[in-house]
Amino acid sequence: MALARAEIDAAVQSAVAEALSVSEDEATPDATLLGDLGAESIDLLDILFRVERKAGVKIQASELAAWVQGGISDEEFGDANGMISAKGLAQLKKVMPQIDPDALAGKLEAEKVLSLFTVGNLSELVAQRVGASS
């Protein structure tokens, strides 16, 4: 039976808190994983393995990039200087609704995209995977 959304949110929150050794009060939905919580790539791996154990959904680290990019090619997602295009920003707004595309226009480097990814964004990805597999 698929987990309810509240259960998914709780599972992701505790996975983040355990992996990063922070309190669940700090691992709030609007906290960014890399910025606010200081996660490194090895921590993201730890979080995803814990999510798999708690929510039964396997997500590879590279799938995070694929998820935020939404099937848009690299060439369309960013420009020649590595800045996210208008089309890329519109896609990011779908998976990271908290961002302001106008404020980020011409300023967001492709390699910085995941720095905007929050605990809540991860919960949404997990929820969609749970829904897809239920």
Binding site for other proteins (CB under 8 A): 34, 40-46, 49-50, 53, 60-62, 64-66, 68-69, 74-82, 84-85, 88, 109-111, 113-115
Residue 32 backbone phi and psi in degrees, to 5: -80, 140
Shortest Cβ 125–other proteins spacing (Å): 13
Shortest Cβ 4–other proteins spacing (Å): 25
The nearer residue to other proteins, 10 or 34, going by C-beta atoms, is 34
The nearer residue to other proteins, 74 or 100, going by C-beta atoms, is 74
Residues forming a β-bridge with 118: 32
The nearer residue to other proteins, 30 or 40, going by C-beta atoms, is 40
Residue 66 tokens read as 């694929």
Shortest Cβ 55–other proteins spacing (Å): 14
- In a 3-state reduction of DSSP, which class is residue 85? coil
The nearer residue to other proteins, 110 or 130, going by C-beta atoms, is 110
CB distance 90 to 77 below 8 Å: no
In order, the DSSP letters of 11-47 are HHHHHHHHHHT--TTTS-TT-BTTTTS---HHHHHHH
